[in-house]
Amino acid sequence: MATRKKNDALPPMEGQAFAELMQQMAQLPQISPATLAELQAGYMQQATALWNASLGQGEAPAVSDRRFAAPEWRANPAASFMTQLYLLNGRTLQQMAGAVEADDKTKARIRFAVQQFVDAASPSNFLALNPEAQKLALDSSGETLSRGLQNLWGDVQRGHVSQTDESAFEVGRNVATTAGSIVYENELFQLIEYAPLTAEVKARPLLMVPPCINKFYILDLQPDNSLIRYAVAEGNRVFVVSWRNPDESVRHLGWDDYIEQGAIQAIRVAQEISGQDRINTLGFCVGGTILATGLAVLAARGEQPAASVTLLTTLLDFADNGILDIFVDEASVRLREATLGPDSPKGPQLLHGQELATTFSFLRPNDLVWNYVVGNYLKGEAPPPFDLLYWNGDSTNLPGPMYCWYLRHTYLQNELKEPGRLTVCGEKLDLGAIDAPVYIYGSREDHIVPWHAAYRSTQILKGRKRFVMGASGHIAGVINPPPKPGKPARRSHWIAKGAALPADPEAWFKSATEHAGSWWPDWSAWLASHAGTPQPAPKAPGNRKYKSIEPAPGRYVKVKA
């Protein structure tokens, strides 16, 4: 048998299959022939080097990808070569996607689609190609495969890939445990008033509006990382909106309902219970968009109920929507309107929570999908308990009309920021008419609300503003409590000296200073300056008109999608 010599071509199967794939990629619009030729030449040079290294003629580069970190991948020559070739193929496909001469949105979509394919095609995802899973199966006499099949069947029954041990958590028992009472409810939300933890509370209460596409207890996971408990312990009288998980009875509700019967009604009840005309307000993610819209509606009616506004990872200017932008165009929005909106043939429908949850998981597929496919099914491992992932899997539905309005007027047409462009609850909107100081927070690595996009709210709102950027992503950046005494700080945050907020976010960042630890104390000090003088803490929740209905966290948050 003839032996291969250095610089021999790849084995026919690998070389031919990838060459065909590259040809298909070349059919994408406007890839420069010169660029394509350069990529092909570079690919063949690297692939040949890998093949020669597999024959002992050279050294293959080190693999840092954690999917292939187990020693079994390196110990098996075939698996090692397959890993190196897979990573090279993935890099080359992404380079080709980046070389497409098209508009930014088209290029982003191509890159996203290619990355989804590359991640799904990883040899680690297949038992026949995963030496680590194979060794576990042999060492356990097939027990890991048996457990994997049991895990798979359990997930089929649940309708999603398990990311944590869901039996380890129960809302109200070991998540969402801060003491409080439901003091108001309607068909959209329950309002929670939390029991004070201090003898005195600040006069002006704090109303928190969380996102309606998730459940509120991301702000109250455990006592040690609960922003709600932290705010209560800081002497605030805290009210929180707990959105209903919509069912068929409310599938007709629209954006105006979420503003009038949601945010505005919550503001009015908090005012009445506290006896304060002006209250502090906080909105998180979509909750911030809803809150700002509600305050703009009230401003159009001559009301200014907010003593302060805090916006956490919130979009008001949707010019840069991060990775979610690739899903939104005129055709996709029309499809949603035709199937979910008020004029669809079947009438308004629900957008089911599992669809949203799956979409968000595939924004980070290796971390939130394939990692668990490999662990749960190929290795037969039970995912460990993790409160944040339990919350992440506790999905919520949305009424189709509300969702369709939101998609069209914000993500697609970016009209919310334009004064007078939109009419909501019968009023022409102008976010600049909100008369209140604003604390705006963005997370540096947020892929859902990029910090540049969060920063742009500083150019829309007219009150005195403070912008703070935290480390990490959309959730971990927000849920970043101060460390316990003697413990190191986990993450950092950036604050710029002075009140200047230039139009260019990078200009702000150049003037900002990084500070170790949580941004929560900075926000708490800012909030205290707008909270009024302390007064004795209330002895009971609610008042004569709004009495306690049931203990927190209430019924609404426990309803599964």
CA nearest neighbour of 538 among 179, 200, 183, 268: 200
Phi and psi torsions of 465, nearest 5°? -125, 150
pLDDT of residue 14: 44
Q: How far is Cα 466 from Cα 496, in angstroms, rounded to an integer?
A: 9
Asked if residue 385 has pLDDT above 90, the reply is: yes
Identify how many contiguous H helices and E strands the chain contains and give both numbers: 20, 17
**What is the set of active-site residues?**
285
Domain with CATH 3.40.50.1820 in the chain: 180-350+397-558
Q: pTM for the complete prediction?
A: 0.90
Q: CA–CA separation, 367 vs 383, rounded Å? A: 13
pLDDT of res. 26 = 53
CA–CA gap between residue 277 and residue 194 (Å, rounded): 20
pLDDT at 529: 97
- Does residue 6 have a pLDDT over 60? no
Backbone angles phi, psi at 169, to 5 degrees: -125, 150
CA angle 304, 308, 309 (to 5 degrees): 100
Distances (CA, A) of 467 to 47, 365, 481, 490: 48, 31, 18, 21
Q: pLDDT tens, 43-56?
A: 999 888 888 888 87
Q: Show the CA angle centred on residue 367, arms to residues 363 and 371, nearest 5°.
A: 125
Backbone angles phi, psi at 199, to 5 degrees: -65, -30
Give the whole-angstrom CA distance, residue 286 versus residue 315. Answer: 7
Q: Domain 180-350+397-558 carries which CATH code?
A: 3.40.50.1820
pLDDT (0 to 100) of residue 488: 84
pLDDT of 361 above 90: no
Contact 284, 211 (CB under 8 A): yes
What would the pLDDT profile of 86-140 be if each residue is shown by its tens digit? 999 999 999 998 888 888 888 888 899 999 999 999 999 999 999 999 999 999 9
Mean pLDDT of the chain: 91
DSSP state of 44: H
| pLDDT-based confidence at residue 19 (cuts at 50, 70, 90) | low
What pLDDT band is residue 541 in, cutting at 50, 70 and 90?
very high
103 burial class (0-12, 13-18, 19+ CB within 10 angstroms)? exposed
3-state secondary structure labels for all residues of 411-471? HHCCCCCCCCCCEECCEECCHHHCCCCEEEEEECCCCCCCHHHHHHHHHCCCCCEEEEEEC
pLDDT for residue 25: 52
The single-letter code of the amino acid at 65 is D
Reported as a single tens digit per residue, the pLDDT across 413-431 is 999 999 999 999 999 999 9
Q: Which tens digits make up the pLDDT trace of 56-96? A: 777 778 888 999 999 999 898 899 999 999 999 999 999 99
